[in-house]
Amino acid sequence: MNKHKFDISKINNLADENPYKLVEMAEKEYEAQLMEIANEISVHGQKIVLISGPSSAGKTTSSFRLAVELRKLGIESHTLNMDNFFLDMDTLPLRDDGKPDIEGICALDVETLRKCFREILQKGKTKTPQFDFATHKRKSEWVDCELKGHEIIIMEGIHALNPKIVEGLELDKIYKIYLCCEDNFVCGRKTILYPRQLRLLRRMARDERDRGCSIEQTIEMWEEVCRGEDKNITPFKNSADYHLKTIHCYEPLLYKQLLLDKFQKMAHIGQVAAFLEKFKYCSTIDPKILPQNSLIREFVGGLKLE
């Protein structure tokens, strides 16, 4: 398969012949990248790993799976949650619609985040804030974070690659990962599915099941989500040390299996009708054959991590 292109006809054939082999191939390609990243970190000795990527790129599972690969090399990881560095909601600037800007870098206490990183790099320990999402304010209690031996910090978030959060720090001690979802699905010369469309399918499958958000609501929010990505994430992707590809070649077949019946009842919605046309090019595979630790289970359910 060519770089940035998956031939849906070949994928269909593989799925019809041996769907288990198709899934295994895709899973091994993803895992091989994690192993490569873990080896680089082991060799060069970075102490902070920053992971960013667009919505539904698989940040949560990729962070955990990377920690597993690092552990195999004798490197334990601590996870820092970027959300705990939010500023109090009532202090945030307002957007044009009058709502607080919770997605911009202005929502983060960048100075405190840098201070914590600096102390980790220089002393191996720091105290980190905790954010209370019920009150939208920072808690009074701070939490100790200490690294021992070869331990490292992993932090994922939409602003993880923004240069402001590492300004003035020892950059050779920081490893940056961008979750890359830039593969098109083609049939002959025709592109039938673009990366953002595939991520929308991921999000529709996940949010309806786990977040109480209907397919219609997910579609309505998607344009604003993409605007936020273009502003806060994409401009910094080329600063990453590694672009981790998270699209698995079997995904369109999986989402057809999961969403086709629901989509057929919603064909009056333009975006849904467009997906129904795309599904005509796809075979199907059963989600039951996915490994329990597959990144794709973050979106289709049944994820079990070690």
* CA gap 289, 278 in Å, rounded: 23
Report the phi/psi class of residue 221: left, alpha or beta, with left for phi > 0 and alpha for psi in -120 to 50: alpha
Contact status, residue 246 vs residue 53, Cβ threshold 8 Å: yes
Taking the complete model, does pTM exceed 0.75, yes or no? yes
pLDDT tens per residue across all 306 residues of the chain: 345 689 999 999 999 999 999 999 999 999 999 999 999 999 999 999 999 999 999 999 999 999 999 999 999 999 999 999 999 999 999 988 888 888 899 999 999 999 999 999 999 999 999 999 999 999 999 999 999 988 999 999 999 999 999 999 999 999 999 999 999 999 999 999 999 999 999 999 999 888 889 999 999 999 999 999 999 999 999 999 999 999 999 999 999 999 999 999 999 999 999 999 999 999 999 999 999 999 999 999 999 987
Superfamily of domain 5-300: P-loop containing nucleotide triphosphate hydrolases (3.40.50.300)
CA dihedral 228, 116, 49, 87 (to 10 degrees): -20
* CA gap 296, 201 in Å, rounded: 11
- Tell me the three state secondary structure of residue 264: helix
Helix and strand counts by DSSP (H, E) for the chain: 9, 12
* CA gap 215, 60 in Å, rounded: 22
Contact status, residue 265 vs residue 276, Cβ threshold 8 Å: no
- 214 CB-near residues (< 8 Å, 6+ apart): 208
